[in-house]
Chains A and B, each alone.
Chain A
Amino acid sequence: MSFSFDGGQRRGFAGDTLASALLASGERVFGRSIYHDRPRGIVAAGRDEPCAYVQLGEAGQSEPMQQATRVEIVEGLVAAPLAGIGSLAAEADPDRYDKVHAHCDVLVVGAGPAGIAAAWAAGRTGARTLLLEDDSALGGQLLGVAAESPGAAGRTWLDEKLAEIATFRETRVHTRTIVSGLYDGGSVYALETRIRPGEAGAPGVSARRLWQIRARQLVLAAGALERPVAFSGNDLPGVMLAGAARMYLNRFGVRCGEQAVVFTTNDSAYSAALELHRAGCTIKAIVDTRDDPRSVFVSRAREAGIDVRSGSAVAVAHGGDGIEAVTVGRLLGESSVVSELDALDCDRLLVSGGWDPQTQLLRQVGARMVAQGASSGFGIETPPPASTLAGACNGTFLLGTTLSEGPAAGERAALAAGFRAEPVVVPDVAEPLEEAPRPVFFVAPPDGDLSSCYVDLHRDATVDDVQRAVGAGLTSIEHVKRYTSAGTGAEQGRTATVNVAAVTAELIGAPLTEVGLQSARPPIIPLAFGAMAGRHRGDLYEPVRVTPIHSWHVEQGAVFEDVGQWKRPLYYPLDDEDLDAAVLRECAAVRAAVGMVDASTLGKIDVRGPDSVEFLNRVYTNAYENLAVGACRYGLMCTLDGMLFDDGVVMRLGEEHFVATTTTGGAAAVLDWMEEWLQTEWPDLDVYLTSVTEQWATIAIVGPASRDVLGRLTEIPLDNESFPFMGIRHGVVADVPARVSRISFSGELAFEVNVEGLSGLAVWDAIWQAGQPEGITPYGTETMHVLRAEKGYVIVGQETDGTVTPVDLGMDWIISKKKSQQFVGKRSLRREDTARPDRKQLVGLLPHDHKVRLPEGAQLVLDQSEPVPMRMVGHVTSSYDSVALGRTFALALLESGSDRMGETVYAPLEGRAIAAEVTGPVLFDPENERRDG
């Protein structure tokens, strides 16, 4: 297969990773490091790789920060090395992402020997079992051991179990699926790669799939990762983990190095050394930290003629663009210092500092860690509820033990999930015992210079940096992490965190367990935003709500605005009118003749039940017992702290039946609010609430000619006497049953026609036709806002922000003075702060220059020459140009505003200040002479 790397064409084999293909072609320097600009090579073979990061793909498919060790070669793959930081694509991602919700009884994370065995044992009980594996292949570490190595019986057994698993109805196995996060209650996120980067997609198949899984029981079989050792020059290309070299040799047929030195603290690296030796690589020496290693692995190495140097360590790796030699010496006692130095030439140094159980998932939910004496890494103190560990992530490294531990874990999990199993027979695996390691985390170089002893290759953090952190007084591992940034890389410091903890522990003289490990947080690998978004992009990002009349607005070329999820016409431009021109025309038409507006988005809550009046008396600030059937009333709602929460009109349709309207954006919150009080504080009230917002279309006909227009469509008497202001009448409008009310949000004579939603468009059209003689003008929310502001009517959320009381708005007249009426928020209105006379109060503002419009949100000051910082006494909440007033005007909240009538305030803006006169908020028709037509 051919692929592109760093602009050049390369070749590899099917099954190769980007890393194995590059190693096979002799590549040693992969890229440069993030801060120190040092050459770096491939260090690992899996998701612990700290150096070999690539940007994949092009244009919208470009994906940053992918580990070359996890990227599979496909024909046409494009990759470029990264120096520790990538860049997001500027174009939209054309790939499809999706999400799947899954539930299982047992989730097994990791399909190595322990995971396969656990999934088999759980699956055979009938438990719904999910086995997820990050790699493209099943087998875990077994993929990297030589075919002739011990444990053949074990592998045959696992193959049989995999074949059996394939027959289980309730067990599913997914490869290329990395579990990235574990959350409370067995909630798990996993990312499945369905189309590999560079691979041609198939129609309808998502490139990635985010699994959201709820698991009753979790079996963690995520294995262990090899730990490097920090010594001088340990970042040189050619310094590699021993297990990685073994994996490249046995799985990918890539021999790393001609002349290798092996540096180890344990037996595992001997297998790597022997297998490489057999493959033709010269093993110059095995440098073993242990004083007297004598396991069968050691004897075999000696038999093969390999120089085993016990009680020793590599102190320095030398070289330019890659390792050329190492300085080796004898460890002095328990210290990290070496003596009796010797030099060995080599082109590879294979390191094994020990193996760290991969427990991040459990640590994400707060599992505590303890340093494990024998294996030298950290283990989980107590697994969280409903979780079990098996295999290497449990500190079990022998295949034989793993093959009894895995099934036991799977069975235990199935049992806990309510399933029963027959006893399991596991194979006897003959394998030699390993000897205890002698952990060494860091070796001091003879010259004492710690600045190239790397503890985190990804972040370019050194032992020197940790020393400086500790020197600065930091002893918490979380502080050391933030000071050095060690462990903060995209691979979450998989090769770094234990060494950072160990170096810190040594420097502050505390036990490793006490220092602990850095917190683990999801996601375990960088997760593409596309995967998190799934199908929630573009049109599907959020639901869009439209009224039954929407198609008419679209046909008329309305410009829409989003109000919550609703699409509402903002204005209806004629020819090439802009917003200002259209709004002046629409306003003039309404005040002079007639306009119509689609008010269907207003929230409507049906209130029924014998205690409806009492309920409304408690949630609104005014009283409802004296509201007659067939009449409506404007009401305010406060939060418990006395702040205005929503407003609307309450219509009484029957003795025990009301409809309360809410603001468009507040509908859901108001219904929730009412339900909360009914359910939690007033369960004794017999009241039922139903949202009927979408069941009704609401059309307001507004202006002096509105009575004439509506009169052509209905038999309902519309004169003031038969149908007074704030009255409600039922009848037929345009052949459709309708509820009509005389509500005005503009000060003009107006009728609100409510019909069932499906008839909305027909009735709208009939009104439109009927109004042609008067030139009826459809108008949008902006004109609606100007008309109401001219009358000083507030909009909740524009004049208010959760810190404004009805009193601040001059609406004391809507607050019941009756002692017995205890509405929500009442007590708060006389709290010391709420009752202050110098609170910000609603006023009108008239700019001295009639043409200047104050910007909404502008701060107000009393003295424009005051030096900065000026004392801000208020702010502009609404500001418009008014055709009715022949000038600009604004509404504002102003400290002690009601006492400042006639005063001048200033809005200081960049390079100028706008002066405006303070006035009352009602600027148009203060005597309400237009209301009745």
Chain B
Amino acid sequence: MLLISCPWCGERDEVEFHYGGESHIAYPDDPEAITDDAWGEFLFVRNNPSGEFRERWLHTHGCRRWFNLLRDTSTHEIVRSYRMGESADQSSGAERESD
């Protein structure tokens, strides 16, 4: 069970959250101008790395805000959480102390 740091509420149990898939997938500027293949890629194709991954989470049973998490999928270590609109690097969000 992860201990997730919501950028708005602080550390909370994983059961309060919902997972929202890979983060930073840009919505196409003009969907009508792109091919079926390109639209299909945007719709369905996601990365699935073993290692650090930027993903979206929703604090469903809390502040109900969406935010981003930088998490290692192989160790489950949460490197950082940051707000929507921020990038992982410039984040002023909660950083978990490393043990």
Hey, which bits of chain A sit against chain B, CB under 8 A?
A: 183-187, 214, 366, 385-386, 416, 640-641, 672, 675-676, 679-681, 683, 819, 822, 826-828, 831-832
Contacts and interface: CB of A to CB of B under 8 A. Distances in A.
A366 B73 CA distance: 13
A673 to B, nearest CB: 11
A828 B66 contact: no
A641 B85 CA distance: 24
Given A828-B43, A831-B36, A187 B3 contact: yes
Given A184-B76, A214-B3, A680-B84, 14 more contacts: A185-B2, A214-B13, A386-B99, A416-B99, A641-B43, A679-B65, A679-B66, A680-B66, A681-B27, A822-B32, A826-B31, A827-B31, A827-B32, A831-B36
Nearest to B30: A822
A184 B2 contact: yes
Interface string B75-86: 111100000110
A184 B1 contact: yes
A640 B99 CA distance: 41
A679 B1 contact: no
A679 B27 CA distance: 14
Contacts of A676: 20, 58, 66
Nearest to A680: B66
Nearest to B78: A185
A828 B56 contact: no
A832 B43 CA distance: 14
B86 to A, nearest CB: 12
Contacts of A385: 77, 98-99
B84 A185 contact: no
B46 interface: no
Nearest to A668: B60
18 contacts: A184-B1, A184-B3, A185-B2, A185-B3, A185-B76, A185-B78, A186-B3, A187-B1, A385-B77, A416-B99, A641-B43, A641-B44, A676-B58, A679-B65, A828-B39, A831-B36, A831-B39, A832-B36
B40 interface: yes
Sort A-B residue pairs by CB-CB distance and give the 8 closest, nearest first.
A185-B3, A187-B1, A827-B31, A385-B99, A679-B66, A183-B1, A184-B76, A386-B99
Contacts of B32: 819, 822, 827
Contacts of A831: 36, 39-40
Contacts of B98: 385
A693 to B, nearest CB: 16
B66 to A, nearest CB: 4
A86 to B, nearest CB: 29
A832 B38 CA distance: 13
Contacts of A681: 27
Nearest to A827: B31
A680 B56 contact: yes
A828 B20 CA distance: 21
Residue of A385, A679, A828, A832 with most partner-chain B CB within 10 A: A679
Nearest to A822: B31
A672 B58 CA distance: 9
Range, interface on chain B: 20 to 34
Interface of B: 1-3, 13-14, 20, 27, 31-32, 36, 39-40, 43-44, 56, 58, 60, 64-66, 75-78, 84-85, 98-99
A185 B14 CA distance: 10
A185 B66 contact: no
A675 B66 CA distance: 9
B5 to A, nearest CB: 10
A822 B31 CA distance: 9
A672 B64 CA distance: 9
Nearest to B74: A366
A104 to B, nearest CB: 13
A827 B36 CA distance: 9
A186 B98 CA distance: 13
A822 B44 CA distance: 19
Nearest to A416: B99
Contacts of A683: 84-85
Contacts of B20: 676
Contacts of B31: 822, 826-827
A827 B66 CA distance: 25
A186 B39 CA distance: 41
Residue of B32, B43, B78 with most partner-chain A CB within 10 A: B43
Contacts of A183: 1
Contacts of B75: 366
Nearest to B67: A679
Contacts of B13: 187, 214
A416 B99 CA distance: 8
A597 B27 CA distance: 43
Contact of A675 (B40, B43, B64): B64
Nearest to B60: A672
A823 to B, nearest CB: 11
A789 B36 CA distance: 35
Residue of A184, A385, A641, A680 with most partner-chain B CB within 10 A: A680
A827 B58 contact: no
A679 B84 contact: yes
Contacts of B2: 184-185, 187
A183 B14 CA distance: 11
Contacts of B66: 675-676, 679-680
Contacts of B36: 831-832
B68 to A, nearest CB: 10
A691 to B, nearest CB: 10
Contacts of B14: 185
Contacts of A185: 1-3, 14, 76, 78
A108 B78 CA distance: 24
A414 to B, nearest CB: 14
Nearest to A832: B36
B77 to A, nearest CB: 8
A832 B37 CA distance: 10
Given A416-B99, A676-B58, A827 B39 contact: yes
Nearest to B44: A641
Contacts of A640: 43
B39 to A, nearest CB: 5
B88 to A, nearest CB: 16
A828 B31 CA distance: 9
A604 to B, nearest CB: 17
A386 B3 CA distance: 13
Contacts of A832: 36
B49 to A, nearest CB: 17
Contacts of A680: 56, 66, 84
A115 B14 CA distance: 29
A822 B76 CA distance: 38
A680 B67 CA distance: 8
Contacts of B40: 831
A184 B13 CA distance: 11
A186 B99 CA distance: 12
A682 to B, nearest CB: 10
A185 B96 CA distance: 11
Contacts of B56: 680
A832 B31 CA distance: 15
B13 to A, nearest CB: 7
A680 B84 CA distance: 7
Contacts of A386: 99
A895 to B, nearest CB: 22
A640 B75 CA distance: 32
Contacts of B1: 183-185, 187
Residue of A672, A819, A827 with most partner-chain B CB within 10 A: A827
B24 to A, nearest CB: 10
A267 B1 CA distance: 42
A828 B39 CA distance: 8
Contacts of B76: 184-185
Nearest to A679: B66
Contacts of B77: 385
A617 to B, nearest CB: 15
Contacts of B58: 672, 676
A183 B58 CA distance: 21
B78 to A, nearest CB: 8
